[in-house]
Copies of this chain bind each other. A is one copy, B any other.
Amino acid sequence: MNEVEELLKNIDGQFKDVVGVLIVDRDGIIIKSTINEVVETIQNYGMSIAQIVEMSNQALKENGEIQFLRMKTKRNEFIVVPDKEFMLITILNANNPSLSHGQHALSSN
């Protein structure tokens, strides 16, 4: 699992707006995270996004599975790459130039 952790840290360090990177299972349960303190909000993100992917797969089922999802809300941006068993979720800060790296609303590494 060391390689996975390195990969996550790489994604996390590459962009200053990255709040954190999660690997969740298909139910949204967090397996790995670059966010030290997995607060309820982060766990909820995992569950909500797993739900959205599941629901999108059903809604667009004749189109094949969702391979990539990018979703921007007022507060965050989520980049999601679902795989068979797991899902990679990158959480970014959306449009918040006043918050510098490490000081954003959600604590990150």
Contacts and interface: CB of A to CB of B under 8 A. Distances in A.
Interface of A: 41, 45, 48-49, 51-52, 55-56, 59-60, 62-76
Chain A interface helix/strand/loop/mixed: mixed
B69 A65 contact: no
A26 B14 CA distance: 37
A52 B63 contact: no
Contact of A73 (B48, B51, B55, B65): B65
B67 A72 contact: yes
A60 B76 CA distance: 10
Nearest to A79: B70
A88 to B, nearest CB: 14
